[in-house]
């Protein structure tokens, strides 16, 4: 095999590898967007659990009040515990099993479910969109054309999409959490006591406490800075075009 043929084979392999990488990225992006849409539909229709972050110490996976003599879900003997006569008394109770509180969709409206579960579906949609936007940028950069027309705009849109998804994933659950917790608590009563009586969960027992993750905003800012740099580079490249 001569050198020219070997070069042709190497170029063909590189072309096939590049096409496969691009295809894989596009498929992954489409799957992410599809998963985001499905996740949004599921939380809107009440088919998926909605996570709500609540203030410690009632930051629970399953809220289990520790009452002396009670056995819930096969678990008994938690500590610290209060006597059955002291509850419900309107005061927060000691609980155990820490973790995020998960509210199932039976007790809230589609809008509240969509807002409270905005984190996952907004992240999935934005991730897919950003990958779709960055594929042409990566391709042109790999072809030694980082300032190809449209790259700055794509990066700016990716930055805006990331920032928008971050804002939605941060603000919407915070807005929905009080209503989601309220509707959940309104439909939930205490386990029956020895006399068969139940009581509503005391008001203020579970307080929403949304947490803010700042790193996506940093990613959005970096993408924005890159977009500005590429826009500047594109203008300089345009100026240099036709220079002999």
Of 74 and 242, which has the nearer Cβ to another protein? 242
Torsion of CA 167, 125, 21, 222, to 10 degrees: -10
Q: How far is Cα 85 from Cα 148, in angstroms, rounded to an integer?
A: 74
Of 60 and 234, which has the nearer Cβ to another protein? 234
With beta carbons less than 8 A apart as the criterion, state whether 117 and 48 touch: yes
Of 49 and 233, which has the nearer Cβ to another protein? 233
The number of CA neighbours under 13 Å toward the Cβ of 162 is 23
Count of Cβ atoms closer than 10 Å to residue 134 Cβ: 18
Q: How far is Cα 59 from Cα 102, in angstroms, rounded to an integer?
A: 10
CB of 234 to another protein, least distance (A): 16
Binding site for another protein (CB under 8 A): 241-244
CB of 240 to another protein, least distance (A): 8
Question: How big is the chain by its Cα radius of gyration, in Å?
Answer: 27
Of 196 and 242, which has the nearer Cβ to another protein? 242
With beta carbons less than 8 A apart as the criterion, state whether 49 and 105 touch: yes
Rounded to 10 deg, the angle between the 215-240 and 151-186 helix axes is 160
Of 90 and 242, which has the nearer Cβ to another protein? 242
CB of 238 to another protein, least distance (A): 10
CB of 235 to another protein, least distance (A): 14
How far is the CA of 38 from the CAs of 24, 41, 113, 130, 231, in angstroms? 21, 5, 13, 18, 36
CB of 228 to another protein, least distance (A): 24
With beta carbons less than 8 A apart as the criterion, state whether 126 and 164 touch: yes
CB of 237 to another protein, least distance (A): 12
Of 108 and 234, which has the nearer Cβ to another protein? 234
């Amino acid at each position: 095999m001569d050198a020219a043929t070997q070069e042709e084979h190497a170029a063909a392999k590189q072309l096939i590898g590049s096409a496969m990488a691009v295809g894989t990225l596009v498929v992954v992006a489409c799957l992410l967007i599809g998963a985001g849409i499905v996740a949004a539909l599921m939380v809107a229709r009440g088919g998926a659990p909605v996570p709500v972050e609540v203030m410690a110490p009632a930051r629970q996976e399953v809220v289990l009040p520790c009452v002396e003599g009670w056995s819930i879900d096969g678990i008994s003997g938690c500590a610290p515990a209060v006597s059955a006569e002291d509850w419900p008394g309107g005061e927060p109770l000691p609980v155990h099993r820490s973790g995020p509180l998960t509210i199932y969709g039976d007790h809230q409206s589609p809008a509240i479910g969509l807002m409270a579960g905005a984190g996952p579906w907004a992240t999935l949609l934005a991730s897919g969109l950003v990958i779709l936007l960055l594929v042409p940028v990566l391709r042109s950069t790999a072809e030694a054309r980082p300032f190809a027309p449209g790259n700055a705009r794509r990066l700016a849109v990716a930055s805006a999409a990331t920032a928008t998804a971050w804002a939605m994933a941060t603000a919407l659950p915070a807005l929905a959490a009080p209503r989601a917790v309220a509707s959940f608590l309104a439909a939930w009563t205490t386990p029956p006591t020895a006399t068969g009586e139940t009581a509503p969960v005391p008001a203020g027992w579970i307080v929403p406490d949304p947490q803010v993750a700042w790193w996506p905003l940093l990613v959005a800012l970096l993408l924005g800075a890159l977009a500005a740099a590429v826009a500047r580079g594109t203008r300089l490249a345009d100026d240099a075009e036709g220079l002999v």
